[in-house]
């Protein structure tokens, strides 16, 4: 079932999500709905707070472009994006490594807004599947970026927080309009 996406400035987007301690049937249903909702919105990632649920659960799928990463290792084994996406994960912990890299990002909670965001190029993500399997994912490029963007959501952080001050100034009016429309 496609769920409505929550837009900025909904307060749920600013909450730190609760850790998922037990994967109930409701959480499995939520995760399945989130995958459907993300594809329907043509996104490459979606976090539970973006459908109004303050939990540390998110989806990422960047497998439309195998070239957007130079490597993917899962628990030490080489994999392709197709093997691991859509990745549904809970309770992530990230170790950010590598050079800083700047690229354009969008966010389904900000329909008309895009911006250059600087983030570490590589990540070592320790996270859990809904079946309780621990995955250590080492990757770079768009996959690393999307995992960072979605993990930010789980801790109440938004991509606008990571924009340059010049970009923040430039989007001030757009944010104000969103506050009036969705606040
Ligand atoms: Zn987002």
Domains of the chain: 11-182 (3.90.45.10)
72-74 and 134-140 strand pairing: antiparallel
Q: How far is the CA of 54 from the centre of ligand 1 (A)?
A: 14
Task: Report DSSP state, residue 63.
Answer: T
Ramachandran angles phi, psi of 9, nearest 5°: -100, 35
The pLDDT value recorded for residue 13 is: 98
pLDDT band at 115 (very low <50, low <70, confident <90, very high): very high
Average pLDDT over residues 135-160: 98
The mean pLDDT of 137-146, rounded to a whole number, is 98
Gap between the Cα atoms of 80 and 64, Å rounded: 11
| Arithmetic mean of pLDDT over the chain | 97
What residues contact residue 174 under an 8 Å CB cut-off, 6+ apart?
A: 112, 113
Span from the CA of 20 to the centroid of ligand 1 (angstroms): 20
Reported confidence tier of residue 73, pLDDT bands at 50, 70, 90? very high
Ligand 1: centre distance to CA 148 (Å): 10
Residues 35-54 pLDDT 10s = 999 999 999 999 999 999 99
Q: Which two tokens stand for residue 117?
A: 């965001």
> Sheet containing 134-140: which strands, arranged edge to edge?
45-47, 57-60, 87-107, 110-128, 134-140, 72-74, 77-78
Ligand 1 centroid distance, CA of 160 (Å): 10
Considering the candidates 22, 93, 150, 181, report the single residue annotated as catalytic: 150
Q: How far, in Å, CA of 74 to CA of 51, rounded?
A: 28
pLDDT of the residue at 50: 98
Closest CA to 12 of 153, 129, 176, 171: 153
181 is catalytic: no
Closest C-alpha among 57, 4, 6 to residue 28 = 57
Q: What is the pTM of this model?
A: 0.98
Percent of the chain with pLDDT over 70: 100
CA 134 – CA 20 distance, rounded (Å): 14
| CB atoms closer than 10 angstroms to residue 138 | 17
Query: Tens of pLDDT along 89-100?
Result: 999 999 999 999
CA of 71 to the centre of ligand 1 (A): 23
**How many angstroms separate the alpha carbon of residue 132 from the centre of ligand 1?**
25
| Stretch 155-183: mean pLDDT | 96
Query: What is the reported pLDDT for 159?
Result: 98
């Amino acid at each position: 079932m496609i769920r409505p996406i929550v837009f900025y400035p909904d307060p749920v987007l600013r909450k730190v999500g609760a850790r998922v301690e037990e994967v109930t049937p409701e959480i499995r249903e939520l995760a399945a709905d989130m995958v459907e909702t993300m594809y329907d919105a043509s996104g490459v990632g979606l976090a539970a707070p973006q459908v109004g649920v303050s939990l540390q659960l998110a989806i990422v799928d960047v497998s439309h472009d195998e070239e957007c990463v130079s490597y993917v290792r899962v628990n030490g084994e080489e994999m392709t994006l197709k093997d691991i996406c859509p990745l549904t994960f809970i309770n992530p912990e990230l170790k950010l490594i590598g050079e800083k890299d700047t690229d354009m990002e969008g966010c389904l909670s900000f329909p008309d807004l895009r911006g250059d965001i600087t983030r570490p190029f590589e990540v070592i993500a320790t996270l859990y599947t809904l079946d309780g399997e621990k995955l250590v994912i080492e990757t770079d490029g768009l996959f690393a970026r999307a995992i960072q963007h979605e993990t930010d959501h789980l801790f109440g952080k938004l991509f606008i927080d990571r924009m340059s001050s010049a970009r923040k100034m430039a989007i001030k009016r757009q944010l104000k309009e969103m506050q009036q429309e969705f606040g």
